[in-house]
């Protein structure tokens, strides 16, 4: 076991699944039993009809992440599991900020700071204004710090959405599975997948 495997960092786990009731709960139990905290969890439709995509973010060693992925793939409805470091994905989070409309109207500096942070108004009412921004965690956190002195009323941030940089999409992989003769396996490794770590079905 080398130092790289022991070093903890953020990993993005991508899970392609059939859309079945109860699967999310069973996947969450896998993490709970190992006392691993999920930093972010997003589920959404994938590029293929009837197949869903989970994006799970945890901070762990690569060895632990690899074992988790193998355990997740044992679930009957799971088609494929990938894990990648932050360097191997393009990711964003969306954040909403509610502030007093009176404060925004009176404080020109706040408007300038919002523009500098790529925020835009999505709702403007007499009593409050809601701004939206997207970015990495440090970017959305920075805007919290900027707005706090002006009376930030409410803040919410979405889970992370991520796309694997070198992935050709699951459509290609699904067609490859369909071409297999009974009993054959798709053999994949980090070299064939240009850096993404994946597992055989």
The reply to whether 19 and 83 lie within a common domain is yes
Shared domain check, 83 and 59: yes
**Alpha-carbon span 80 to 74, nearest angstrom:** 10
Surface-to-core class of residue 78, CB atoms within 10 Å of its CB (0-12 exposed, 13-18 middle, 19+ buried): buried
Residue 99: partners with Cβ closer than 8 Å, 6 or more residues away: 110, 128, 129, 131, 147, 150, 151, 152, 153
The pLDDT-based confidence of 170 (bands split at 50, 70, 90) is confident
Please say if the pLDDT value at position 190 is more than 50: no
pLDDT per position as a tens digit, 85-137: 999 999 999 999 999 998 887 876 777 888 888 999 899 999 999 999 999 99
Q: Are residues 127 and 33 in the same domain?
A: no
For residue 12, what are the domain limits? 3-88+165-198
Question: Do 13 and 69 fall within a single domain?
Answer: yes
Each residue's pLDDT tens digit, 45-95: 988 888 899 999 999 999 999 999 999 999 989 999 999 999 999 999 999
Same domain, 14 and 79: yes
CATH number, domain with residue 121: 3.30.70.1150
Q: How many CB atoms lie within 10 A of CB 144?
A: 13
What is the tally of structural domains in the chain?
2
Q: Are strands 128-135 and 89-100 parallel, antiparallel or unpaired?
A: antiparallel
């Amino acid at each position: 076991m080398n130092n790289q495997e022991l070093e903890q960092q953020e990993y993005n786990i991508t899970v392609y699944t059939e859309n079945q009731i109860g699967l999310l709960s069973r996947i969450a139990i896998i993490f709970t039993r190992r006392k691993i905290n999920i930093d972010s969890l997003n589920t959404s439709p994938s590029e293929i009809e009837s197949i869903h995509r989970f994006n799970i973010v945890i901070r762990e060693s690569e060895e632990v992440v690899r074992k988790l992925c193998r355990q997740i793939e044992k679930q009957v409805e799971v088609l494929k599991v990938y894990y990648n470091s932050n360097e191997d994905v393009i990711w964003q989070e969306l954040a909403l900020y509610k502030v007093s409309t009176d404060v925004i109207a009176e404080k020109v500096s706040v408007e300038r700071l919002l523009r500098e942070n790529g925020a835009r108004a999505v709702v403007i009412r007499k009593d409050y204004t809601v701004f939206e921004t997207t970015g990495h965690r440090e970017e959305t956190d920075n805007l919290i710090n900027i707005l706090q002195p002006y009376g930030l009323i409410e803040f919410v941030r979405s889970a992370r959405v991520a796309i694997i940089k070198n992935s050709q999409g699951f459509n290609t992989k699904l067609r490859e599975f369909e071409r297999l003769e009974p009993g054959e396996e798709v053999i994949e490794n980090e070299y064939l997948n240009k850096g993404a770590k994946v597992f055989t079905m």
